[in-house]
Structure 1
Amino acid sequence: MNAADHSLIERLAQHLRRPVPKIVRTNARLHLLDWLGCVAGARSSEIARIQSAMAGVGPVDRAAWLGNVLEMDDVHRTAILHPGPVAWPAALGIGGDAVDDGLENALDAAVRGYEAMITIGAMFDGRHYAHWHNTATAGGFGAAAAAASRLGADIGQTVAALGLAGSVAGGLWQMRHEPVMAKQWHLAHAVATGTSAARYAMAGVTGPRYVLEGPQGLFAATCAAPGEIVLADTWRIGEVSFKPWGACRHAHPAIDAALLLKAEGGLSGPVTLATYRDALVFCDRPTPRTVQEAKFSIQHAVAIVMERGIPRLQDFEPDAIAALADARAAVSVIEAPDMTGAYPAHFGARITSAGGEVTLIDTLGDPERPLDRDGVIAKARELMAWGGIDAGAIDEAIGIALEGGRVSDITDLLDRWL
């Protein structure tokens, strides 16, 4: 394919045709387990209760709302988005007699969803991210790619699906400033839009080939200087980070740096945390009032480590918010220009207190400091237990995610949970 003669999504559609190696599929199962843990952990949330009261909503559609409620969903640094909560429900939710029930096909579909979502999200620039929720704007593309793969789409149908999904891309960050559930709606909307686009493309509906770079395309509307497309030799799911702590990823460098300084015996107030600009834009919140605000508070994250050690989900609940007020007041945050310069390739932080200083370049769960298989399984167990799943059912879920052979085993599991 001559790149000069084809649009960006045509080049991407061709790129997605590659076979998915077994080792990549095996890694994808860990991401599937991670997503299932995030869904299970959120099954008692308010948005889950709303979903359970709505008639005619299937288990995968319900799950599409829950993958990021606890802020523990997987994340890609340079694309600055969370692919798992979109790719998995899109890959698993395509049903019907004409669709193979084999889990390996769904794993391949999810890998392609990750690839499309990351490839497009990584082209967005700072102007885009300042206003647009990358997981939402790139998410429709990822869902369309995953669903198209599961449906057996050819290149032309995949291009149509990507073009249709991209033509209605959206998701504004305004929801960060209000106590609302729009972030979950963004993910569910991306899944529904992408899967619908794939189904219509299979039926013959066409979409704009130049939806990204065209004169009235997504880049023109939302970016100042979009990046070049990168079609990696490997599958980019391997670049995706697992999140060990139940907070915004931008707060994780602060948590990790604080844990390291605490281990050295040097963490005591007052504390100064220096980090990259976006971490402050999203998480400079000294007086959180709600669980969601606490998850987006660097001050609260560091206070947890000072007073309690390793953060647990209960440390972001209302009782902990009240109890840690004095510790939060001892935490100051500033921008570190060197950290801003290294971002988003590196999410770093520098913490200083009377007892010492620690500088952290990469965060736990990133490819440079990976969470291993046992760590992912332990995280999933903790999340499922938080969601009220009993030990036997947790073992069953882990077995299905890591060794199972049918999509219906996953959907049956979600049906019982939700």
Structure 2
Amino acid sequence: MKFCENQMTDNFLKNLIKQSKDSIPGKVFTQAKNCFIDFLACTLAGAKAFYEKDLAYIDSLEFGNGASSVIGLPPKCSLQTAALINGMNSHVMELDDGHRKGAVHVGGTIFSALLPVAEKEKISMQDFLYGAIIGYETTIRLACAVQPGNKLRGYHATGTCGTVGATMAIAAALHFDFEQMKSAFSAAVTSAAGVLEMQEDNADLKPLNVGRAAMDAVSAAYLGKARFKAPNDALGGKRGFLAVMTDEAKISFLKDFENDSFSIMSIYNKPYASCRHTHPAIEAAMKIRQQPGFLLDEVESVCVHTYKLAVAGHDHKLVDGVNSAKMSMPYSVAVALFTGNAGLNEFSKANVADQRILDIAQKIDVVADDEFTALCPQRRAALVDVKTKTGLFSARIDYPKGEPENPLTPEEFRQKIEGLMSFAGYSKDVCEKLIDIVYRPEFTIDEVINLL
């Protein structure tokens, strides 16, 4: 693939630099705080779920030696290991934020990389949040530029684009000059990786794509800080990021920066503990459940009509564990029909083994719809048709809860944070203290770490 642009790396980085800390509106910094709180809650819950595996990994590799804190775990580790474990744990519950058009999870990689660096370097709250904003900008723009080709090639954009975004977050927070930033960016490009096969067969390793991206971002950032010389164009070169990651790059996302538009403002916040592709159908199932005359016992068949990218890898009816269930459209719709929800509890081991839910899942087919495929990624829509003994019940969702067009209310967001922290074993009082710290005009990373 040949690109007509010259020096794409330099031009992209110059656009990023134009988004100076002083030019960013207060509402954007508030959004970064929202994202940070969401990350912390997701990561604490993930640390609870992966606690024994995390400790076994740390003990075998480092014996708990190091100076960097791991969210929700007692031992301290190296910078890179802390970023790795935090990143993995942030994605375990499938409730971390993301971006519709980029088909990418964002906050997990960025904050997992930023946090141990901020702890080490004593980064101020404003610089920490500024780094996060630049990281979101980088990840989302790169992901939008390479999708859907990146996904179709089997890559997980959270790993590929997230590595680069998390690196730029650190570079911005540490005030790298242009030479350092280009070196770090290029090191991140050659580190970018992550394949979607990790979500198959009830595997535990999909979160590794997040953790590895954060870990490699730390290494890439410090290579940049040390001024390792970069190639001329790691982004647009003939064997660069775009050429490798997609068949057709959407260059406009890499050069059309608007001063009043920040990518962090366009993320989604997940209310349901499953892959985002399942959420429109989940909400449609919930609406059907409330329709007059609908009786679950009378369901004969269910058809989910949705966009093509939501079908492959998500249409399996047989689930052999929690991770498999979180990726399954049939299970997700079935549990929503059965319980009226799709939160943490609905994806528990007990529910995933509940034969009543599994029987409903066997009745659910998932098909690609031409209209919805054409609408994607502007909309991620689904139409659910449920045929019962007495008639047909249908519901369509174009913007599932959590999208910018249909955001969580402040109360819904708070309930999500409280629910995740409760799962992790933290009291409501600790949750309130965390929220108070992060939303103060000034806070330190040590205050957050010491509380948790």
The two structures have a TM-score, normalised by structure 1, of: 0.93
Q: Check conservation: 2:97, 2:267, Cα contact below 8 A.
A: yes
The CA distance in 2 between the partners of 1:5 and 1:303, in whole Å, is: 48
2:267 equivalent in structure 1: 240
- Residue 56 of structure 1 pairs with residue 65 of structure 2: yes
1:119 equivalent in structure 2: 141
Matches within 5 A, 1:363-378: 363-378=400-415
Q: Check conservation: 1:30, 1:373, Cα contact below 8 A.
A: no
Structure 1 unaligned runs (5+)?
Answer: none
Matches within 5 A, 1:269-418: 269=299, 270-323=301-354, 324-353=357-386, 354-403=391-440, 405-413=443-451, 416=452
2:181 equivalent in structure 1: 158
The CA distance in 1 between the partners of 2:371 and 2:293, in whole Å, is: 23
Residue 262 of structure 1 aligns to which amino acid in structure 2?
A: R
SS of 2:394 mapped into structure 1? strand
The CA distance in 1 between the partners of 2:406 and 2:293, in whole Å, is: 23
Tell me the CA shift for residue 153 of structure 1: 0.5
The CA distance in 2 between the partners of 1:51 and 1:357, in whole Å, is: 44
Q: Check conservation: 2:189, 2:235, Cα contact below 8 A.
A: yes
The CA distance in 1 between the partners of 2:202 and 2:292, in whole Å, is: 37
Tell me the CA shift for residue 260 of structure 1: 1.9
Tell me the CA shift for residue 294 of structure 1: 0.6
Q: Check conservation: 1:94, 1:151, Cα contact below 8 A.
A: no
Residue 380 of structure 1 aligns to which amino acid in structure 2?
A: I
SS of 2:48 mapped into structure 1? coil
- Residue 77 of structure 1 pairs with residue 115 of structure 2: no
The two structures have a TM-score, normalised by structure 2, of: 0.86
Deviates more, 1:196-205 or 1:293-302: 196-205
Deviations 1:62-104 (A, max 9, x none): 322211100001010111100100111222221477x344212
1:92 equivalent in structure 2: 115
Q: Check conservation: 2:202, 2:322, Cα contact below 8 A.
A: no
The CA distance in 1 between the partners of 2:127 and 2:6, in whole Å, is: 28
Instruction: Give percent identity, aligned residues only.
Output: 24
Deviations 1:367-397 (A, max 9, x none): 1111133222211111111111112211112
Q: Check conservation: 2:102, 2:147, Cα contact below 8 A.
A: no
Deviations 1:123-159 (A, max 9, x none): 1133321210100000111111011011111222212
The CA distance in 1 between the partners of 2:421 and 2:159, in whole Å, is: 26
The CA distance in 2 between the partners of 1:349 and 1:266, in whole Å, is: 22
The CA distance in 2 between the partners of 1:229 and 1:100, in whole Å, is: 36
Residue 44 of structure 1 aligns to which amino acid in structure 2?
A: K
- Residue 146 of structure 1 pairs with residue 169 of structure 2: yes
Deviations 1:242-280 (A, max 9, x none): 000000001101111111222223654222211111111
